[in-house]
């Protein structure tokens, strides 16, 4: 069997949010939508998830119309229902209301069985100083790794 195939990632999510927990949800898609997703024509860059009337929804995800879909094609940015257990939905609703957390789509992928799944993160928004600290930490880590690699090769940077 083949392994799961990542179709779309939300790269900005980890930059703008601190991910406290993540979980997997199924997505309700039409025929032309799943064909577009399997072809890799999906984007999560401006999307978010929310809970309304006891159901979880993916809002703002862009799935391009299928090339040969003609009149059966779908609306690219329509809200799509997420498949979660009732207790998961209630827990998420409580956490988002009480603790000020938000639901952020992290990754859309196709499972080995051909099903479309979404990895959703329970996230807290980062302040500007938090983002700057993360960037500084990443840069210093990269610099240390570069220095160590040069030392192994017997070179000196200065």
pLDDT tens for 88-134 read 998 888 888 878 788 999 999 998 988 899 999 888 877 777 778 88
Predicted local confidence at residue 158, as pLDDT? 59
Return the pLDDT at 78. 87
d(CA 81, CA 58): 6
The pLDDT assigned to 1 comes to: 44
Q: What are the tokens at 127? A: 């302040």
Domain range summary for the chain, segments of one domain joined by +: 5-126, 127-158
5-126 is classed CATH 3.40.50.300: no
Residue 121, C-beta contacts closer than 8 angstroms, at least 6 positions apart: 13, 17, 19, 20, 21, 22, 103, 104, 105, 106
Q: Beta 116-125 vs 17-27: how paired, if at all?
A: antiparallel
Burial class of residue 23, CB neighbours in 10 A (0-12, 13-18, 19+): middle
**29 touches 116 (CB < 8 A):** yes
Q: What is the mean pLDDT of the chain?
A: 85
Instruction: Give the pLDDT band of residue 17 (cuts 50, 70, 90).
Output: confident
Average pLDDT over residues 45-66: 88
- Taking the mean position of all CA atoms in its chain, how far away is CA 38? 16
Flag whether pLDDT at 156 surpasses 80: no
**pLDDT reading at 27 higher than 90:** yes
pTM for this entry:
0.72
Count Cα neighbours of 75 within 13 Å in the Cβ-side half-sphere.
6
Q: SS3 of 67, please?
A: coil
Give the rounded percent of residues in the chain with a pLDDT score beyond 90.
17
């Amino acid at each position: 069997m083949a392994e799961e195939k990542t179709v779309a990632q939300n790269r900005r999510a980890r930059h703008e949010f601190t991910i406290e927990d993540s979980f997997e949800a199924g997505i309700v898609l039409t025929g032309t939508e799943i064909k577009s997703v399997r072809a890799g024509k999906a984007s999560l860059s401006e999307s978010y998830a929310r809970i309304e009337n006891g159901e979880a929804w993916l809002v703002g995800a862009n799935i391009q119309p299928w090339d040969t879909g003609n009149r059966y094609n779908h609306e690219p940015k329509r809200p799509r229902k997420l498949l979660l257990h009732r207790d998961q939905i209630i827990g998420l609703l409580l956490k988002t209301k009480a603790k000020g957390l938000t639901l952020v789509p992290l990754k859309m992928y196709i499972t080995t069985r051909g099903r479309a799944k979404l990895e959703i993160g329970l996230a807290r928004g980062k302040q500007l100083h938090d983002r700057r600290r993360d960037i500084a930490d990443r840069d210093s880590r990269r610099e240390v790794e570069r220095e160590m690699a040069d030392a192994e090769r017997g070179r000196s940077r200065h």
